[in-house]
């Protein structure tokens, strides 16, 4: 029996009571995800604005007063790659 290629994605979602979804970001790298969560937690604990720019294509700025009125939810999802899923279905058909 072959093993499937399973990838894990880490998601963080910040939803504000008035503004709706402020952030809905998915990370493939678990270390980056953990660091981002620590940054959010630090901003809440130290009563600071959440501001981050990755230097190229991602910028977020959430003032502290809106951050503390938001719900922060995380999730971890495991996914089988599309090609492995198709191979599995084809192999099942061939064995019938």
pLDDT in tens, 67-86: 999 999 999 988 766 666 56
pLDDT digits (tens, 9 = 90+) for 22-79: 999 999 999 999 999 999 999 999 999 999 999 999 999 999 999 999 999 999 988 7
Q: How many Å separate Cα 71 from the centre of its chain?
A: 15
Cβ-based neighbour number of residue 36 at 10 Å = 20
- Going from the C-alpha of 3 to that of each of 46, 63, 85, 87, 94, the distances in angstroms are 45, 46, 11, 11, 18
CA 65/CA 80 separation, integer angstroms: 40
Closest alpha carbon to 36 in 26, 45, 46: 26
């Amino acid at each position: 029996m072959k093993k499937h290629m399973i990838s894990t994605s880490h998601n963080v979602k910040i939803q504000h009571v008035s503004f709706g979804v402020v952030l809905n970001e998915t990370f493939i790298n678990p270390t980056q995800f953990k660091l981002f969560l620590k940054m959010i937690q630090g901003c809440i604990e130290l009563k600071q604005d959440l501001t981050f720019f990755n230097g190229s294509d991602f910028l977020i700025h959430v003032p502290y007063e809106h951050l503390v009125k938001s719900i922060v939810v995380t999730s971890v999802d495991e996914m089988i790659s599309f090609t492995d899923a198709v191979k599995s279905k084809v192999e099942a058909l061939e064995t019938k």
